[in-house]
Amino acid sequence: MPPIATIFLIDGKLGGVPIAFLYILVVWGLLIVGGAVLARPLRENDTLTATESEGPEVPRTDG
Amino acid sequence: MLSVNLILAVCVGYVALLFAVAFIVDRQTRRRRIAWLQSPIIYTLSISVYCTAWTFYGAVGSAARNGLEFVTIYLGPTLVFVGWWFLLRKLVRIGRNNRITSIADLISSRYGKSPSLAVLVTMIAVIATTPYIALQLQGVTSTFQVIAGGGDAVTTAFWVAAGMALFTILFGTRNLDANERHHGVVAAIALEAVVKLIALIAVGAFVTYSVADGFRDVFQDVSPEAIRGAGDIFGPRWVVLTFLSATAVICLPRQFQVTVVENIDERHLAMASWLFPLYLFGMVLFIMPIAFVGMRMMPEGANPDLFVLTIPLAEERYELAMLAFLGGFSSATSMVIVAAIAVSTMVSNHVIMPVALKVLAARHAVSGDVRSLLLASRRISIGIILGLGFLYFWISGGSDALAAIGLIAFVGVAQFLPSLLGGLFWQGATRAGALSGLIVGFLLWAYTLFLPSFSGDFILSASVLANGPWGIEVLRPQAMLGLSGMDPLVHAVVWSVGANALIFLVVSTLTEPSALERLQGSLFVNVYRAADGGPSTRAIDSADTEDLFVLAQRILGNEPARALFDEMARDQGREGALPYATDAVIARLERELAGSIGAASAHAMLTRITGQENVGMTELIDIADEAQQLIETSRELSEKSAELEQAAQQLRTANERLRALDAQKDDFLNQVSHELRTPMTSIRSLSEILKEETDISDNERSRFVSIIHNESVRLTRLLDELLDINRLEAGTLNLTVEQIEPNASIASALDAVSGLTRNAGVAVTFEPLPEVAYVSANPDRLRQVLINTLSNAVKYNPSEEPEIHVRAQRNGGNILIDVIDNGGGVTREDANMIFEKFARGSRSDLGQGAGLGLAISRAIMRKMGGDLTVEFVSDSISYFRLSLKESAEEATSVPPVAAK
C-alpha cells in the first residue's frame, strides 16, 4: 500500500473517535460523493440503454 | 424474555408480508404495471442481498476480534460499484444482449457456449453456496434460540429452509420469464433490505446513545490495538479481504443474479454506484460501537457475533431485540432466496436440462413437455439446493467451522474471476484456458482452504493438515511449497486464484479459440461496438420453420411461441404465416430460448433442430475470418501503395523544383554576366582609346572619362544590389526596425526623387494618412523601396503628361501605400514575373536598370513583415502597393508630417 494511504492510520482520537476509523469513513464518504457527482453525467450518457422490450409474455404455469 | 409464540407470530406475519409483497408485485408485473418497480432505488436495495446474516451479526463479532478489518468486506463492493463504468456496465450490457441467466451461463456463453464450462461453474457455485446457506440457517436458528430462550436448532433450521423453499418455488419459478427476472422476489428483497438497515441502525443508535453516552464514551477505553486488530490496516490480509469482497460482489451467483440478470436499465447502475456504497456505509457506521460497548457491558465469554441481539435483550428492550432479530432474519432469508434462485437456475439449465432434453428428443416429446420439465427441474433444483444447505447445517451441527465459511465461499467464487475478466476484455482467452484455470483453481481452493476448514474431520485428516499427504511437508495444505507463516486465507488466495489466473493465461496463449469462441469473444469484448449484440447469425438455408416453431412451443409454451413467430412473420411481411428461417429469425429464437434454458442449451437445441452442427458454422466463420484477413491484407497493401505513390509524387515535385532552380541559376549567371559585361566593355574600350590614342581632344577625353566614371558607378550599384539580394535571400541581412510614421517616409522619398520627377515633367500628388499612424520598419530600407517604386513609376511611364499619385491609407490593421501612375502599370502577365531577379516588364523598353530593384524591394518588405504587390484596376491598369502592419505602439518622438 502506498505510504500516502497509511498517512492517517495513526493511534489517537479526534473528538473521542479513533483517527483510523474516522479516516476510513471520510475516504469512504468521499468515494460515495465522487460516485454521486459522476453518476449524473454518466447516467445521461446516451450509450446507456434500457433493456429492450421484454420477450414474449409467458403466462403463469399451473403449478 | 420474549415468548416463543409471539416471536413465531411476528416471524410468520413478516413472512406473510413478504409473500404478499411478492404476490402483488408479480400480479402487477403481469398486468404491465411495473413502472414503480423500475426504480433504481429498488434495484439498489436488491443488491444489498450482499449483506447476509453473516455480515449482519458477524461484522460485530469481527470488529470485536479484529478491529477495523471487518470494513474490508464492505470496501471491496464499494470500489466495484464506484467504478461501475468499467466493469459492471459491460457485464450488464452483455447480460442483456445475450439474455444471460447466470454467471455459469455467461462464462459458458463467452467460451463458445461450452456445456462443460457451464457444468463446472455450476458445480463450484453449488459447493460454495451450500455451506453459505447453512451459515444463514445457523444465523437464524442461533438467534432464535437466544431471543426465545431455547428451542431445537435442527427443527428451527428445517422450518426456515422449508419456508424459504416454498417462497422461492412460488415466486422464483412462477414464470419462465424470458430474461429470468423475478419482480416479485426483487420487491420482497428490497423490503428486507430496508428492514435490516433500519434494524442495525436502530440497535447501533440505541447502543451508542442510550447504553453508552455517545461516540466519545464508546471509544473511551478502547486501545489502539483493539482498533487495528491483529493484522496491519492496509496490510496483506486487508488487501486480500478487500479483493475477495470486490470479487464476491461480482462473482457470487446471487450478486450476479440481482446486479446483472435482474437489471432492467443500465442507467440504474449510475444510482447504484453511490447508493449501494451509501447503504453499506449505513450498515458499517455502528458496528464498532456495538462491538466495543458489548465487550464492555456483556459478561465475559459472551459471543460477540450475537451482540446485535443480546445487548437489547440485556437492556430489556425486547421490541428492539425483535427488530434486530427480524433484521438478521431478513438478511438470512434474502440471501437464501436469491442464492437458491440463482444456483437452481444454473443447476436446472446446465445439469438437468441437457440430460432431460436428450431423453425427450429420443421420445419425440410433444409441445409443452419441455416447458413442464423445465419448471419441474427448477423446483427440484431449489429443493435440492436448500436441502443440501439444511443437510450441511445438520451434519456440521452448527459448529463454529461455519462461521468461517463466508470468506471460504468468497474464495471459492473468486475462481470465476480470471475467466470472467479474461472473457470480457481479452479476445484471445480460450475455453481450454478457462476450463483448466477453473479446475486447478477449484482444486487448490478445496485443498488449501475448504477441506482444512473442517479441522481434519472431513477427507483431509489432522495428520495431513499438519505434515502433508504421505508426510510430504511441501504439500501441507496451508503451507504449500514451504510457504508457511502466512495467513491461511491469504495463502489460499495466492495459490488458488494465482494459479488459476496463470494457467488461464498460459493455456489461452497456447491454444487456439474455436470459431464460435472467436465469435463470442468478439461479441463480448466489443460489446459496445456491436449494433445488436445478439447471438451468432448463421447461414441456414434448410432450417424447417415448422421444427423451430415446435421447439419454441416446447420451451416457451404455445401462446408465447405463437406471439413470437407472429411478430417475426410480421417483420418479414408474412402476416398469418410462419416466418422464413432467416439468420435473424434463428438468432432471435436462440436469444429467447437462452433466456429460459441458458445459452449453451439453446444453442445445442437449435443446432440439432436445424440440422446444423457446429462444424458447418465453424467452417462458415473460418471462411469469414479468412475473407476478413484477406480484406485486411489488401487494405494494408493499398495503404502501402498509396504511400509509395505519394513519396514518388513528392520526389517528382522536388526534382522539378531542382530543375527550375538550376535553370534560374543559369539565367541568373547569364544575366549577371551580361549586366557586368556591358559596362565593362564600355570601360575597357574607352580606357584603351585613352591609353593608345594621343590625338584626342580635351573635350573628348573629358567625355570618355565621364562615361567610364558613370559605368563604374553603375557596376558598383549592380554589385551592391547583387550583394543585397543575396543576403536577403539567405536571410543574413539584419534589419533594425523602429516605430516610424509612414507619412514622413513617403515625404522623404518624394523629396529624394523630386529632381527626377522635375526633369521628367511628372506631376506628383500625395494623399497622406489623415491621422498619425505608425509602422515597424527600417526607415532607410523603407525609403529605399519607396524611391525604387517611385523611380520605376517615373522611368517606365509612357504617358505624354505623366502623373504619379501616392496614397496612404489604413485597412484592417495594415498601412497601405499605393504608388499609382497614369502609365498603366504592369500587365497581368508581367505581374507574375516582375518580382523575379533581372526581370523587366514588357513596357520597360527603355532598358534601364538591372531588373533587381523590385526583387530587392519585395524581399525587404517581406523581411519587415509587409509586402510589395501589384494591384489591378483592370487587366491593363495596375499600380504598386506597399503594405505594412500598423504598430499599436506610439512613437511620440516622430512628428506628424503634413500633406504635401
Query: With bands split at pLDDT 50, 70 and 90, how would you rate the model's confidence at B34?
Result: low
- Contact status, residue B401 vs residue B454, Cβ threshold 8 Å: yes
% of chain B at pLDDT higher than 90: 35
Query: With bands split at pLDDT 50, 70 and 90, how would you rate the model's confidence at B531?
Result: very low
Instruction: Please check whether residue B31 touches A, CB under 8 A.
Output: no
What is the C-alpha to C-alpha distance for residues B894 and B741, in angstroms, rounded to an integer?
Answer: 7
In this prediction, residue B103 carries a pLDDT of 95
pLDDT tops 80 at residue B887: yes
pLDDT tops 70 at residue B466: yes
In this prediction, residue B850 carries a pLDDT of 63
pLDDT tops 80 at residue B442: yes
In this prediction, residue B535 carries a pLDDT of 44
Instruction: Please check whether residue A14 touches B, CB under 8 A.
Output: no
How many CB pairs lie under 8 A apart between chains A and B? 144
User: Which amino acid is present at B204?
Assistant: G
In this prediction, residue B518 carries a pLDDT of 85
Q: Above 0.90 for ipTM, yes or no? A: no
What is the C-alpha to C-alpha distance for residues A33 and A39, in angstroms, rounded to an integer?
Answer: 10
Least confident of B383-392, B741-750, B836-845: B836-845
Query: With bands split at pLDDT 50, 70 and 90, how would you rate the model's confidence at B584?
Result: confident
Query: With bands split at pLDDT 50, 70 and 90, how would you rate the model's confidence at B613?
Result: very low
Q: Pick the residue of A32, A49, A52 with the most B CBs within 10 A to test the interface with B by mutation.
A: A32
Instruction: Please check whether residue A11 touches B, CB under 8 A.
Output: yes
Q: Which residues have CB under 8 Å from B215's CB, separation 6+?
A: A15, A16, A17, B208, B289
User: What residues 657-716 of chain B have any CB closer than 8 A to a CB of chain A?
Assistant: none
Average pLDDT over residues B777-799: 89
- Chain A residue numbers with beta carbons less than 8 Å from the beta carbon of B81 are 35
In this prediction, residue B118 carries a pLDDT of 94
Q: Residue A21 in 3-state DSSP? A: helix
Q: Which residues have CB under 8 Å from B800's CB, separation 6+?
A: none
Work out whether the CA dihedral B741, B743, B749, B755 comes out positive or negative. negative
Query: With bands split at pLDDT 50, 70 and 90, how would you rate the model's confidence at B15?
Result: confident
In this prediction, residue B321 carries a pLDDT of 94
User: What residues 239-258 of chain B have any CB closer than 8 A to a CB of chain A?
Assistant: 239
What is the C-alpha to C-alpha distance for residues B185 and B18, in angstroms, rounded to an integer?
Answer: 9
pLDDT tops 60 at residue B532: no
Query: With bands split at pLDDT 50, 70 and 90, how would you rate the model's confidence at B514?
Result: confident
Q: Residue B731 in 3-state DSSP? A: coil
Distance from CA of B44 to the nearest CA of A (A): 14
Average pLDDT over residues B457-467: 85
Instruction: Please check whether residue B274 touches A, CB under 8 A.
Output: yes
Q: Do A58 and B220 touch (CB under 8 A)?
A: no
User: What residues 867-896 of chain B have any CB closer than 8 A to a CB of chain A?
Assistant: none
In this prediction, residue B732 carries a pLDDT of 78
What is the C-alpha to C-alpha distance for residues B411 and B273, in angstroms, rounded to an integer?
Answer: 24
- Chain B residue numbers with beta carbons less than 8 Å from the beta carbon of A26 are none
- Contact status, residue B891 vs residue B743, Cβ threshold 8 Å: no
In this prediction, residue B206 carries a pLDDT of 96
Q: Pick the residue of A10, A58, A62 with the most B CBs within 10 A to test the interface with B by mutation.
A: A58
What is the C-alpha to C-alpha distance for residues B100 and B342, in angstroms, rounded to an integer?
Answer: 12
B678-732 pLDDT, tens digit per residue, is 788 888 888 888 888 888 888 888 888 988 898 888 888 888 878 887 888 777 7
Nearest to B175 among A38, A52, A60 (CB): A60
Give me B371's grid cell.
Answer: 416447458
Q: Do A56 and B271 touch (CB under 8 A)?
A: no
Which chain A residue has its CA at the smallest distance from B527's CA? Answer: A47
pLDDT tops 90 at residue B78: yes
Instruction: Please check whether residue A17 touches B, CB under 8 A.
Output: yes
In this prediction, residue B356 carries a pLDDT of 80
Angle at A47 between CA A41 and CA A51, to 5 degrees: 110
Give me B506's grid cell.
Answer: 498460459
What is the C-alpha to C-alpha distance for residues B591 and B180, in angstroms, rounded to an integer?
Answer: 12
Average pLDDT over residues B441-469: 88
Q: Phi, psi (5° rounding) for residue B532? A: -110, -35
B653-690 pLDDT, tens digit per residue, is 999 989 888 887 787 787 778 778 878 888 888 888 88
Instruction: Please check whether residue A21 touches B, CB under 8 A.
Output: yes
Query: With bands split at pLDDT 50, 70 and 90, how would you rate the model's confidence at B319?
Result: very high
Work out whether the CA dihedral B259, B263, B269, B272 comes out positive or negative. negative
Calculate the alpha carbon distances from B673 to B18, B718, B720, B836 in Å: 110, 11, 15, 17
Calculate the alpha carbon distances from B701 to A19, B678, B688, B712 in Å: 113, 20, 12, 16
Nearest to A32 among B85, B218, B277 (CB): B277
What is the C-alpha to C-alpha distance for residues B386 and B161, in angstroms, rounded to an integer?
Answer: 6
The pTM of the whole model exceeds 0.90: no
User: What residues 25-54 of chain A have any CB closer than 8 A to a CB of chain B?
Assistant: 25, 28-29, 31-36, 38-40, 42-43, 47-52, 54
Average pLDDT over residues B547-567: 80
In this prediction, residue B869 carries a pLDDT of 92
pLDDT tops 70 at residue A53: no
What is the C-alpha to C-alpha distance for residues B589 and B580, in angstroms, rounded to an integer?
Answer: 12
- Contact status, residue B365 vs residue B196, Cβ threshold 8 Å: no
What is the C-alpha to C-alpha distance for residues A43 and B327, in angstroms, rounded to an integer?
Answer: 32
Query: 460485530: which residue's cell?
Result: B60
Query: With bands split at pLDDT 50, 70 and 90, how would you rate the model's confidence at B892?
Result: very low
Average pLDDT over residues B255-261: 93
Least confident of B166-170, B402-406, B566-570, B784-788: B402-406
Give the strands of the sheet with B803-811, arranged side by side: B763-767, B803-811, B814-821, B878-885, B867-872
Average pLDDT over residues B182-204: 92
Distance from CA of B264 to the nearest CA of A (A): 5
% of chain B at pLDDT higher than 70: 89
pLDDT tops 90 at residue B815: yes
Distance from CA of A24 to the nearest CA of B (A): 9
Give me B156's grid cell.
Answer: 428451527
pLDDT tops 50 at residue B899: no
- Chain B residue numbers with beta carbons less than 8 Å from the beta carbon of A6 are 233-234
Query: Furthest-apart CA pair in chain B: how many Å?
Result: 158
Q: Do A9 and B263 touch (CB under 8 A)?
A: no
What is the C-alpha to C-alpha distance for residues B555 and B592, in angstroms, rounded to an integer?
Answer: 10
In this prediction, residue A49 carries a pLDDT of 65
User: Which amino acid is present at B630?
Assistant: L
Q: Do B89 and A1 touch (CB under 8 A)?
A: no
Query: With bands split at pLDDT 50, 70 and 90, how would you rate the model's confidence at B2?
Result: confident
Instruction: Please check whether residue B281 touches A, CB under 8 A.
Output: yes
Query: With bands split at pLDDT 50, 70 and 90, how would you rate the model's confidence at A52?
Result: very low
In this prediction, residue A57 carries a pLDDT of 37
What does pLDDT average to over chain B? Answer: 84
Q: Which residues have CB under 8 Å from B43's CB, separation 6+?
A: B186, B258, B262, B263, B264, B265, B268, B271, B272
Query: With bands split at pLDDT 50, 70 and 90, how would you rate the model's confidence at B180?
Result: low
B99-142 pLDDT, tens digit per residue, is 898 999 999 999 988 899 999 999 999 999 998 898 888 888 88
Give me B445's grid cell.
Answer: 481452493
DSSP state of B743: H
